Structure 1
Amino acid sequence: MAEYRRAQPEERETYIDFANYVFGIDFEALLPKVYGEGIDSSSLHMAAVDEQGRMRALVAVLPELLQVGDNKLQTGYLGTVSVHPRARGEGHMKVLMNHWLETLRADSYDMIVLAGQRQRYEYFGFTVGGLKVKHTVTQTNIRHALKEASPDGLSFCPLFEVDGAVSFANKLNMARPAYVEREEQLLPLTLKTFRLNPIGVLEGGELIGYLLVNHEGNEISEIAMEHQDDIVRTIKAYMVKRSVERVTIYSPEYDTALNRRLGEFAEDYAIETSDMYNILDFANVLQAYLTLQHRTIGLVTGQFSAIMDGQPVTARVDENGVTVERTAKSDAVILNKQQAQKLLLTQHSRYMEVGAPQGWFPLPLFWYKTDKF
């Protein structure tokens, strides 16, 4: 019979080698913030070990504190879900996943996030949803729409070759309407998650922002500028100086400054789902994200009351802002977990007959690529 337990510090090479074998990739290079040299991430991993002491399966959770305006949410990003090929079908993943869900619920987590195949994780209470905006910008857009934008004086270099880059990048992250708190001393590793390339944007030798770009250089997963007026000229400078024919730029819906500027010249855009989510505390998530929407995108006044997965909530938007109570009205709609998350997280909410005020849902949940696991 298998033993299910936390990995031990002395098993670092064992669980990394196990994950590398199952996925056929190099986790130390892919996720240096968790698996980099000298980092003990054993406590993040729950393993299935057989009678011979061999690792048969592994599931990890990276704790992340999410700041949404004035509200803090305790979240965990679930990853490295791996089962040895010869142990598949033995039920190890189910045991490990359910153990983590029970543990995080007992530890008062608000939400769990992951990226994975929809039906596989729906069995564990996850729903694909959230919102990310995908803009496509081409050299034709640059030549015609940005003729007047001057990239003069802008230059690029590896971000962490610039003095003060760590504190500067951390400051820009914390200035966002919503952000995952990043451990400052790990920032040079964190911003290289999934082999991203952190590029500093300089003017007159001084940092004014940074880009996180994929290996091919044609995808910007994160753009952070000290002054929003520098967004357009930075994109032009990057595409011209790096000779990039077409670039994809991702942004959260609530980054209205970035979306407004990109919308003025981008060739195309699409609104896509961002991740899969398992909401453990509906009131806390509603309070955080309705408030965020109210302050950025805007919300119509109104009220919505429901019992979501057994949790009573009543949300109200009026001249005083957003309030969420842990009570339900007598006529509150009753939703199971899957229905509640479908309402809060997906575009399918528009087809549900629940009487929610127009435009409240889906909530704009979003994770930057570098904060994923």
Structure 2
Amino acid sequence: MTDTESPRLATEDDFPEMTALLDRYFAYERYGMAARLPFCYDPERSDRHAVIERDGAIVSHIAAVPQTLVVGGDTVECWGIGGVTTDKRYRGDGYMSQLLEFWFDRMDDADVPLSELSGNRQRYNHFGYENAGAELRYTISERSFAGTPEPAADAVAIYDGSDAQLEVLREIHGREPYRVRRDRKRSRITFGQRGLETLVYEGADGPAYLSLTRESRSRTIKEFGGSERGVEALLGHVLAMYDLNDLTARVHPRHPLGDVFHRHSRFWQQRPHRKLNIRDLPALLEAFEGQLEGRWLDCGRSERGDVTLALESEDAAVRLSYGPDRVAVERVTGEPDVALDRLSMTALLFGFHDRQRDVRRRDPFLEATLPLQFYIWPTEHV
């Protein structure tokens, strides 16, 4: 007879066995997950990990990491799902489904409006996750960068973990309109993760930084910020000093420095950013009220009206009322104007412009304000 336990929260004592399972399937090195994703795998935060035991051993794991997304002037709570793995000998027994449902119950109890993850779309569609957001990937080469003035070498330094440099990075990143909110501790952890190198520019043109992968001749810029000239100087430094096959930058489409990467790129492509699962639609739209109002007022339209949205098979609905000078979000009852399943609602609110196009065209407010904008920098993907 086998001894199979239901999902439970991990304990600090579980961490060595739990991370050994994860290292075997993801990191391929001992303690690799803890070093590469230190903001996820902290033994002092074992409540972020759920496991299943069988025959006296941990055989399945999923982490749920609380994040506060900054979306312009507002914030929204979002739990990132990561470390989804089951020992190969025990796959097919439904452990992933059990663990995800375990976390969904806790998200609902905590009134968390949103969850996000990466991974195979078809695999996670079944659980309500759909492609959301957009990300541009620019490929830059020495030839495409040719003709740019050489940066002053003494203005570029490798981040060494000093308090002074950390404060420069924190100040720059804190101005990003779309990000995960970080305190000082999380900032230090993020920039100190294994496999990441950060270069800091402190020239007269204003500070800037690039954080890029460091273990291959094909490098990816996973985070950046600061002055336009500073970022351009750092790009020039990397291309001049490093022996690279290629350099790729991952950029939010609305980032104010996007033109720098576009100007110097050899080619680019747009891809879905993450996968989102809407857990509480009214709470989500309340959190995005400031962004909705800002986008509506910026477009200068004069229509007045309202549109009510709801998830199919759920009683909770939310009315979006709009006019030339205001937008209001309120919870209501009754028949909605638009009722969609969870995947379609995610596509409407966060998908590419061609997703749910007919629904958006039904109402001027939806057409003008969607898709909603968010971004989780690759340095913090769980």
TM-score range normalised by the length of the shorter chain: 0.7 to 0.9
Deviation at 1:328, TM superposition (A): 7.3
**2:221 equivalent in structure 1:** 220
Q: CA 1:40–1:162 in structure 2 vs 1: closer, same or farther (change >3 Å)?
A: closer
Q: 1:55 to 1:254 in 2, by over 3 A?
A: same
> Which piece of structure 1 moves more, 94-103 or 126-135?
126-135
* The 10-residue stretch of structure 1 (359-368 or 339-348) with the greater mean CA deviation from structure 2: 359-368
Give me the whole-angstrom Cα distance separating, in 2, the residues matched to 1:120 and 1:370: 24
Which residue is equivalent to 1:326? 331
1:6-63 deviation line (CA, Å, top 9, x unaligned): 1111111111112123435221232123336xx423111111112x421121111111
| AA in 1 matched with 2:220 | E
Residue 53 (structure 2) aligns with: 49
Q: Describe the shift of the 1:353–1:194 C-alpha distance in structure 2 as closer, same or farther (beyond 3 A).
A: farther
> How do 1:11-26 residues align onto structure 2 when only pairs under 5 Å count?
11-23=14-26, 25=28, 26=32
Instruction: Report the CA distance shift for 1:194/1:318 in structure 2 as closer, same or farther (over 3 A).
Output: farther
TM-score by length of 2: 0.84
Matches within 5 A, 1:177-192: 177-192=177-192
Residue-by-residue CA offset, 1:96-155 (whole Å, 9 max, x unaligned): 1101011111101121111111111111111112111222222222214x3xx4523554
1:257-316, Cα deviation, whole Å (9 max, x unpaired): 212333344333322101111112323433555744765895464654322343322335
2:84 to 81, 99, 103: 81
CA distance in 2 between partners of 1:258 and 1:293 (Å)? 23
Kept in 2, the 8 Å contact 1:252–1:364? The answer is no
The match for 1:28 among 10, 26, 34 is: 34
**Counterpart in 1 of 2:279?**
280
Q: Which region of structure 1 is more displaced relative to structure 2, 289-298 or 191-200? A: 289-298
Question: More displaced, 231-240 or 297-306?
Answer: 297-306
CA drift of 1:372 comes to 1.1
Instruction: Classify 1:210/1:321 alpha carbon distance in 2 versus 1 (closer, same or farther; 3 Å).
Output: farther
Alpha-carbon distance in 2 for matches of 1:185, 1:3 = 34
Q: Which is further off, 349-358 or 60-69?
A: 349-358
CA change 1:33–1:335 in 2 (3 A) is: closer
How far residue 233 of structure 1 moved from its aligned partner, in angstroms, is 3.2
Which position in structure 2 is the counterpart of 1:66? 69
3-state DSSP class of the match of 1:164? helix
Secondary structure, aligned partner of 1:349: coil
The aligned residue for residue 361 of structure 1 is 370
Q: Distance in 2 between matches of 1:126 and 1:180?
A: 20
3-state DSSP class of the match of 1:190?
A: helix
Contact 1:4 1:46 in 2 (8 A): yes
Question: What whole-Å deviation, never above 9, does each CA across 1:234-253 have from its counterpart, x for those lacking one?
Answer: 32333223354642111112
1:342 match: 347
Q: Does 1:252 align with 2:252?
A: yes
Counterpart secondary structure, 1:35: coil
Name 1:137's counterpart in structure 2.
Answer: 140
In structure 1, distance between residues paired with 2:381 and 2:144: 31
Which moved further from structure 2: 26-35 or 329-338? 329-338
> How many Å separate the matches in 2 of 1:131 and 1:117?
16
Note closer, same or farther for the CA distance 1:130–1:77 as it changes in structure 2 (3 Å cut): same
CA distance in 2, matches of 1:164, 1:56: 44
The number of aligned residues is 364
Asked whether the equivalents of residues 172 and 225 of structure 2 are also in contact (C-alpha less than 8 Å), the reply is yes
Cα distance in 1, alignment partners of residues 116 and 311 from structure 2: 19
Instruction: Name the CA distance, whole Å, in 2 between partners of 1:229 and 1:295.
Output: 29
Q: What letter matches 1:33 in structure 2?
A: F
Q: Is the 8 A contact 1:290 1:363 kept in 2?
A: no
Residue 370 (structure 1) aligned with residue 379 (structure 2)? yes
Paired residue for 1:238?
238
Q: CA shift at 1:207, angstroms?
A: 8.4
Q: Give distance in 2, aligned partners of 1:140 and 1:356.
A: 47
How much is the aligned-residue C-alpha RMSD, in angstroms? Answer: 2.9
1:271 aligns with 2:277: no
- The amino acid that maps onto 2:94 is G
Q: What runs of 5+ residues in structure 2 fail to find an aligned partner?
A: none
State the AA in 1 paired with 2:41.
Answer: Y
Q: Is the 8 A contact 2:132 2:272 kept in 1?
A: yes
Measure, in 2, the Cα distance between the counterparts of 1:117 and 1:220.
23
**DSSP 3-state at the match of 1:76:** strand
| Stretch moving more, 331-340 or 301-310 | 301-310
CA distance 1:133–1:57, change in 2 (3 Å):
same
Counterpart position of 2:114: 111
User: SS at 1:61's partner residue?
Assistant: strand
Name the CA shift for 1:236/1:110 in 2 (closer, same or farther; >3 Å). Answer: same
